[in-house]
Amino acid sequence: MTGAIAMENESEETSFEQLMDKLEECVSRLERGGLSLILATEVYEEGMVLAAEAGRRLSETELRVTNIKAKYQEMMERSEDVIKDQHEEDL
């Protein structure tokens, strides 16, 4: 199993915040330098896997929030219609 595949499996059990911490650590290691070419490539690959997973989770969350907002808007519109209908009946 390659490091990237192991990271993908592990990332499913990792919180978003933990993913971001690990990604920041990868960036820090690369910025500090002093890594061999092979190790730097492995750290870069790990960072890319983490970034992709974080991006996927953000997209899923954005879609979820959009759906919640749409449902709330629909509920509000229905409530306004009921209030309007009741008001018209009272007249």
Phi, psi of 14 (to 5 degrees): -100, 140
User: Dmax of the chain from CA atoms?
Assistant: 81
* Tokens, residue 80: 């306004």
Domain extents in the chain: 3-90
Q: Is 80 helix (H, G, I), strand (E, B) or coil?
A: helix
Question: What is the pTM for the complete model shown?
Answer: 0.69
**Over the Cα atoms of the chain, what is R_g?**
24
* Tokens, residue 57: 């989770």
Q: What is the pLDDT along the chain (91 residues), one digit of tens a residue?
A: 455 555 555 556 899 999 999 999 999 999 999 999 999 999 999 999 999 999 999 999 999 999 999 999 988 888 877 777 776 666 6
